[in-house]
A and B are shown apart, each in its own frame.
Chain A
Amino acid sequence: MDAIHVENLTKTYKGGVKALQGVSFNVKQGEIFGLLGPNGAGKSTTVRILSTLSQADGGRATVAGHDVTSDAAGVRRSIGYVAQATGVDRWATGRENLTLQAQMLRVSTSTIRARVGEMLDWVNLNEAADKLVNTYSGGMKRRLEIAMGLVHQPKVLFLDEPTTGLDPETRLALWRDLERLRAERDVTVLLTTHYLEEADALCDRLSIVDHGRVVIEGTPSALKADIAGDTVTIDIGDAGVRAGEILGGVNGVLEVIPAGALVTVRVRDGATAVPLVAAALGQAHIAVHTMTLGRASLDDVYLKYTGHHYDAGFATATGGKR
């Protein structure tokens, strides 16, 4: 059974904002699933409905087998929820925050102390454990919150924009934590993000949402393959025009865009195309100075399905590939 099953959710806020206009997706047990979309797309609204904080107007959703409306208590027992904005108690220590969270999540009294210690260890907050959270950095707070979301060993973890507002270094550290999470624990993660690179790097599958609708769903690589395949850029000095004709006939090449000495070749799959391209150029006695292989980015996918470019401010925030 799917860990998260979402079927045609709709939600209109008071005041008439149509936040969701029929969102559907499924997430398998153990998967990291991403909801990618710009501001106001409806990502938080979806996550809040799935974590029982908000009610949908229409549609159906189950989380870990529990219906979010008719069995909200069952959902709450099975999930960890880390909100978009921090939800820690600033006037308590990290350990106190974790302990109270464990108590509220019905971790048995006899195991709480050990579990809290283990989680502090896991997110590397041992040294700061007994300091007030008010003195924590943004990254430390985020790590504490993720620990709080995991302290009861939930089946499903919701992370609403886990890395927004963090500096690039901290963001990378958090990515590693999430990768560790995937490797070490059998937990299903639904994360939302603005960042294309983040979805690309972390998610097994993702949905792009825009204006309350899922515009496309798939694995990051399938989405990218679907749009453009890979890009091979070749520097061949003054042989550019001749190379264009030769390369057009190579198996797997979709398009050849010559631009002076640099020829950009769009290929279906870089790994299989590069040797063929190199061989064809070799046969024609064309000297290759450099050859680089690049992947199509999710930005291209985004552009194709939403009809507009991803906001550059977000997409390049980590100096990402474009």
Chain B
Amino acid sequence: MILFFADVWHLWLRHMRATIRLPIWIAVTLIQPVIWLTLFGQLFRRVVELPGFETTTYIQFLTPGVLIMTAMFGGAWSGMGLIDDLHHNVVDRMLATPVHRAAVIAARVLHAAFTVVVQSFIVLALALALGAGWPSVGGTIGVLVAAALVTAGFSAMSTGVALLARREETMIAVINFFGLPLAFLSATFMSAQLIPQWMQSVSKANPVNWAVSAARHAVLGTDTSAVWINSALLLVFTLLMVMFATASFRVYRRST
């Protein structure tokens, strides 16, 4: 068990170092939330005048949404690094050592979750600058937990897809196909009460929507039980995806 945590830690450090050495990644990480927040914030500024919004300004409403969307994509793209490792024989080299198999996946998922937590602080700071205020301590923890869980879930899913598909093209197609629809089939940009009935029904089964609900209620401090329930759902989703990734890993190892 101690060896497992040591493996996760050492592999996590490897991912962290690679990330820090990628200036373009840091730049995009900083700029993307700015674009989402300012563009969407301006574009839809006046929708809060409609009845059904929990907030007085749209930026306040939008912040948790953008934060979760960033988290979802952060997790979803994390499988790309694994494909690179597969193609460069790094995974095989590791599998020929006693390193814990599960640690190879866990380190990647935790790395994605950690970077998203860092990104979340950036988004929150930006929102603060744009006048959305800063959530309470409990709210901050709640929103970070929701972001970390949704990232972990999507990162595990992405890892599983990477191990099965082993091609960048497939990965890009899958993310393009599912990413934005999942974001729009939720209350990310629009109050749940204002989206069509069928979309609301679909969104009830959408992990992104669970995360947005948890994050928004946490930030606004409106409904603590909704934060708990949605976080629990997210946890189940994440565990299922980890099981999927583990099974995919077994498929990969049997295929060679």
Chain A residues packing against B (C-beta within 8 Å): 14, 48, 51-55, 73, 76-77, 79, 81, 83, 85-92, 96, 100-101, 103-106, 132, 148
Contact = CB atoms under 8 A, between A and B. Distances in A.
B197 interface: no
B105 to A, nearest CB: 15
Say which size band chain B's interface belongs to. 20 to 34
Contact of B93 (A14, A83, A92, A103): A83
A79 B88 contact: no
Contact of B10 (A73, A81, A103): A103
B89 A87 contact: yes
Contacts of B253: 53
A89 B96 contact: no
A65 B214 CA distance: 55
Contacts of B18: 89, 91-92
Contacts of A73: 98
Q: Is the interface of B mostly helix, strand, loop or mixed?
A: helix
Given A86-B88, A103-B6, A104-B7, A96 B93 contact: no
B176 interface: no
A106 B98 contact: yes
A55 B3 CA distance: 25
Contacts of B46: none
A76 B98 contact: yes
Nearest to B255: A14
B121 to A, nearest CB: 25
A247 B240 CA distance: 82
Contacts of A76: 96-98
A53 B88 CA distance: 15
B17 A81 contact: no
Given A54-B256, A55-B254, A83-B93, A96 B99 contact: no
Nearest to B9: A103
B96 A52 contact: yes
Given A87-B90, A101-B97, 14 more contacts: A14-B255, A52-B95, A76-B98, A77-B98, A85-B88, A87-B92, A88-B88, A88-B90, A89-B14, A92-B14, A92-B18, A96-B14, A104-B97, A132-B21
B94 interface: yes
A86 B89 contact: yes
A300 to B, nearest CB: 35
Contacts of A132: 21
Nearest to B100: A104
Contacts of B94: 104
B144 to A, nearest CB: 27
Contacts of A79: 96
